[in-house]
Amino acid sequence: MLQIEHLSKTYGSFQALRDVSFSAQAGEVFGLLGPNGAGKTTLLRVLATLLRPSSGTASVAGHDVQREPERVRRLIGVVNGGMGLYDRLTGREILRYFAGLYGLTRAQADARIEVLDASLDLEGTLDRRAATFSTGMKQKVVIARAVIHDPAVLVLDEAASGLDVMARRALLDFVLSYRGSERLVLYSTHVMSEVEEVCDRVAVLERGELLAVDTVGGLLRRSGQPNLERAFFAMVQARAEQAVPA
């Protein structure tokens, strides 16, 4: 579903991604884990066709992000922390509007809103103006908006940040509902407990470099550490020691 090959991205002389390659399949919740500045958002922006890679390729369901950006945009849904809801519209109006942009008819939009209401519990947001939403309500509508066209790949970039326990739980359960489906979720975060709970496999990025791609269990086994946070520290430390000239 997702194929990334030798992807690099530089901003001026700064290299934000270095020769990153991995693939992820439908049915997976695939984590992208890394500390601040690791390059997670840069990678996701390349996939979302918002940034051009400096070299290498990325493709979604066989469609290259550079050669077929419009096709790729229809295949993905992105939640990246920006809310950007129209205050004067209700949740239903916002979702209908975005459904229209993706070419859904009103009947298709309403059917899809019903499905999303059942899985995301949009109750209370559909008939109220966005200006009156709590942060959790906003985030639910943002997520519903990102998947209104039932994209093949759902990209979540720090989507749980700022959410309270209830809203975070709803988000994680929604992500878990994608497991084993015909869709892929790319879940980017630096919160290890979220990765441990929802991700099947994880790519660990650090300073633009891919340190490992493995299952959570595999990362624990190969590091000999009891939890992902310790495994992550061990990996980053080992990489730093390698990088120090003797």
Ligand X SMILES: Nc1ncnc2c1ncn2[C@@H]1O[C@H](COP(=O)(O)OP(=O)(O)OP(=O)(O)O)[C@@H](O)[C@H]1O
Q: What is the 3-state secondary structure (H, E, C) of 47-64?
A: HCCCCCCCEEEEEECCEE
Task: Calculate the CA 162 to chain-centre distance.
Answer: 16
- Segment near ligand X (CB under 6 A); pick from 36-44, 60-68, 72-80, 125-133: 36-44
Write the binding mask 216 to 245 for ligand X: x where contact by CB under 6 A, - elsewhere.
------------------------------
Interface with ligand X, residue 11, by CB under 6 A: yes
Of 20, 29, 30, 41, the one binding ligand X (CB under 6 A) is: 41
Task: Decide the pairing of beta strands 201-206 and 184-189.
Answer: unpaired
Looking at beta carbons only, is 36 or 242 nearer to ligand X? 36
- Segment near ligand X (CB under 6 A); pick from 10-18, 86-94, 144-152, 174-182: 10-18
Point out which residues pair with 138 in neighbouring strands. Answer: none
Residue 237 has phi, psi (to 5 degrees) of -65, -45
What minimum distance in Å lies between the beta carbon of 30 and ligand X?
Answer: 16
Looking at beta carbons only, is 34 or 77 nearer to ligand X? 34
DSSP 174-213: HHHTTTTSSSEEEEEES-HHHHHHH-SEEEEEETTEEEEE
Query: How big is the chain by its Cα radius of gyration, in Å?
Result: 19
Looking at beta carbons only, is 13 or 242 nearer to ligand X? 13
Interface with ligand X, residue 139, by CB under 6 A: no
Interface with ligand X, residue 13, by CB under 6 A: no
Closest by CA to 77, choosing from 174, 173, 186, is 186
Q: How many angstroms separate the CA atoms of 241 and 245, rounded? A: 8
- Segment near ligand X (CB under 6 A); pick from 30-38, 94-102, 108-116, 130-138: 30-38
What minimum distance in Å lies between the beta carbon of 213 and ligand X?
Answer: 16
Looking at beta carbons only, is 14 or 70 nearer to ligand X? 14
103-107-108 Cα angle (round to 5): 50
- Segment near ligand X (CB under 6 A); pick from 9-17, 58-66, 117-125, 148-156: 9-17
Interface with ligand X, residue 16, by CB under 6 A: yes
Task: Calculate the CA 51 to chain-centre distance.
Answer: 16
Interface with ligand X, residue 18, by CB under 6 A: no
Binding site for ligand X (CB under 6 A): 11, 14, 16, 34, 36-42, 190
